[in-house]
A and B are shown apart, each in its own frame.
Chain A
Amino acid sequence: RKEVEQDPGPFNVPEGATVAFNCTYSNSASQSFFWYRQDCRKEPKLLMSVYSSGNEDGRFTAQLNRASQYISLLIRDSKLSDSATYLCVVTLGDSWGKFQFGAGTQVVVTP
Chain B
Amino acid sequence: ETGVTQSPTHLIKTRGQQVTLRCSSQSGHNTVSWYQQALGQGPQFIFQYYREEENGRGNFPPRFSGLQFPNYSSELNVNALELDDSALYLCASSLGGKNIQYFGAGTRLSVL
Contacts and interface: CB of A to CB of B under 8 A. Distances in A.
Interface of A: 4, 32, 34, 41-46, 49, 87, 91, 95-104
Interface residues of B, number: 30
B97 A97 contact: yes
Contact of B98 (A41, A44, A97, A103): A97
* Most chain A Cβ neighbours within 10 Å, of B35, B101, B105, B106: B101
B100 A49 contact: yes
Contact of B45 (A41, A95, A100, A102): A100
Contact of A34 (B41, B97, B100): B100
17 contacts: A4-B42, A43-B90, A44-B90, A46-B102, A87-B43, A91-B98, A95-B97, A95-B98, A96-B50, A96-B55, A98-B56, A99-B33, A99-B35, A99-B101, A101-B35, A103-B40, A103-B42
B40 to A, nearest CB: 7
Contacts of A98: 33, 45, 48, 56, 58
A36 to B, nearest CB: 8
Given A96-B48, A96-B55, A97-B94, A102 B42 contact: yes
Interface of B: 2, 33, 35, 40-45, 48, 50, 55-56, 58, 88, 90, 92, 94, 96-106, 108
A33 to B, nearest CB: 11
Nearest to A36: B103
Contact of A46 (B40, B88, B100, B108): B100
A49 B104 CA distance: 19
